[in-house]
Chains A and B, each alone.
Chain A
Amino acid sequence: MFGEYAGLLTEAIFTQNLALSYYLGMCSFLAISRRVETALGMGLAVTFVLTVTCPLNHLLYHNLLAKGALAWIPGAAEVDLSFLMLLFLIGTIAATVQIVELTIEKVSPKLYAALGIFLPLIAVNCAILGGSLFTIERDYTLAESTVFGFGSGVGFAVAIVALAAIREQLRYSDVPAALRGLGISFIVVGLMSFGFLALSGM
């Protein structure tokens, strides 16, 4: 039981890393990785949002949207609302992001300024939506989807912090002018996922 969750956690963090195995959430991954501190803030925000939205969306889907979920209403046993899935998932995510945004603005205005437009944009970050969709597609239980959401968030945070550290160190490198900035970052992300391939298949 416990071992299963530990396995799922390592899988979500390392072997099926949202950023480096599925290449989800690339926009914020590349945009917020210039400095380690802000990258860490972004990683923590994503972790929080994923940990909350994955189980929440799991509950929503299985108690409201899935076929037969409304069986307790007389005559509604056959109703299948899963075509509304994307709408509901994004709604939950947007609400959670709003809470995070208000909290960060209050607690750390500096981080809020550094994250800029990308904080509200977590709402439409494909990594977050991907996390929720994976929990539904893979038929996780409520506990499993919580663990998976948390693990995916930590995986994203680890990856973005590592990328930020690499990019800070790249200031001492002699990158061709045409590749400086985003270009070399794309290459670095590709090379990083080479490293993460080490753990695939475990």
Chain B
Amino acid sequence: MRNVPDPSPTTAVSSGPFVRDGFALRHVKAIFGLSLLPCLAMAVFNTGLQANRAIAAGATPLSDGRSVLLNALGVSPDPASTLNCVLFGMLYVGPLVFVCAAGAGVVETINSRLRQRRPSATWPIFGLLLALTLPPTTPLWQAFLATCFGILFGQEIFGGPGMSFLNPVLLGRAFLFFAYPAGMSGDAPWIAASFEKVDAFSGATPLASVMLGQESLSHTAWWSALIGTIPGSIGETSFVACVIGAIVLLGSGVASWRIVAGVVLGTFAAVAFFNQVGVDGNAMYALPFHWHIVTGSWAFATVFLATDASSAPFSDGGRWVYGVGIGLLAIVIRVANPVYAEGMMLAILFMNVFAPLINFVTVELHLRYRRGYRAV
């Protein structure tokens, strides 16, 4: 009876979490990186567009090497020209992505050398994802610092990707949010231009401007928020790009559709509740569902951050609970918390803390169910 092939692997494993079917971590991360491409393209275009629009409205270009380079190349800040916007955007998005990826690569390489583990080589995706959550005005040293903090304390210290209980990218972003709040809250313009000489230009993100009472909710504004031509963190302005990413991720099974569905459900419930309650003079309470999902980082965080497999619960039921919790909490923070305009990332981080507890409860319930079953 020895002609049946032994299904167990013949080589010993040395690193990383392992997935069935030879669909290994590097494949998961490759698909993940692929799904980020529409967001990256939109980030490059929109960063340039926003800056060029602001400059056309009277703001001055930031006085750093980049504007000198653009001048030397003869590229004028013209918002109507796609090529000029893309060139401008590349000079801001490119360095951010590069610095984040470099930070992640350095930390992972040093760490794997010290601990004599094989490096997981997921750091380019890590850097890309983190860079896309940052505003274009982030100083490069801050981006570097956030990456190093996130990957070291959110991932490497637990033994690499898949071993941590919270999302390391979010940890890096949250670190920046709390350590350098001045540039990160969304009240100040997230546009790569200088506004010192302009008084009347509102460069606040749509969420922040609704919160500050500068309401600008027109039909055309909603369409531009859907497509993504609004100020914001570089990768997260475009709802459409995120939906394309979602199709890739959900279609390939890399992300759990239950989490995404749960977030949508939770958001819908919370928005319906706040719309019903309503508070006079607070526009956030009245903000409808179709606005909530196109503004801020809702779409980006739902698709790319909430679905991170290692920081979400592993059971199907637990994923529903986790998703709904994120949706509810994100809207509660957006609407009821006067300090933060955006609550999506913080909500995910908060639910990350409770994901192991959700796992524990599901396992416990399952065991109880099985025991009862056997007794009968």
Which residues of A come within 8 Å of B, CB atoms?
36, 161-162, 165-166, 168-170, 172-176, 179, 184, 187-188, 191-192, 194-202
Contact = CB atoms under 8 A, between A and B. Distances in A.
Nearest to B340: A201
B337 A166 contact: no
Interface stretch (B36-44, B64-72, B203-211, B343-351): B343-351
A116 B361 CA distance: 25
Interface in B278-293: none
B174 A194 contact: yes
A123 B336 CA distance: 37
A36 B362 CA distance: 13
B340 A166 contact: no
Contacts of A165: 354, 356-357, 359-360
Contacts of B186: none
Q: Counting chain B CB atoms within 10 Å of each CB, which of A161, A188, A194 scores highest?
A: A194
A175 B339 CA distance: 36
Given A166-B356, A168-B360, A170-B158, A195 B343 contact: no
A38 B338 CA distance: 37
B360 A179 contact: no
A201 B346 contact: no
A198 B343 contact: yes
Given A165-B357, A192-B353, A201 B158 contact: no
Given A165-B354, A196-B353, 19 more contacts: A161-B357, A162-B356, A165-B356, A165-B357, A166-B165, A166-B353, A166-B356, A169-B360, A172-B163, A174-B117, A174-B163, A184-B157, A191-B165, A194-B166, A195-B346, A195-B352, A197-B178, A198-B343, A198-B350
A191 B343 contact: no
A175 B163 CA distance: 9
B108 to A, nearest CB: 14
A144 B353 CA distance: 29
State the main secondary structure of chain B at its contact with A: helix
The number of chain B residues touching the other chain, given as a range, is 35 or more
B153 A176 contact: no
Contact of A202 (B117, B174, B336, B350): B336
B160 interface: yes
Contacts of B359: 165, 169
A174 B346 contact: no
A112 B258 CA distance: 41
A201 B352 CA distance: 20
B337 A199 contact: yes
B115 A176 contact: yes
Please provide the 5 A-B residue pairs with the shortest distance between their CB atoms, ordered closest to farther: A174-B159, A201-B339, A198-B346, A165-B356, A165-B357
A194 B163 contact: no
A167 to B, nearest CB: 8
A127 B273 CA distance: 35
Contacts of A187: 153, 157
A179 B157 contact: yes
B353 to A, nearest CB: 4
Contacts of B171: 191, 194
Contacts of B336: 202
12 contacts: A165-B354, A165-B360, A166-B165, A174-B158, A174-B159, A184-B158, A194-B349, A197-B174, A199-B350, A201-B337, A202-B336, A202-B337
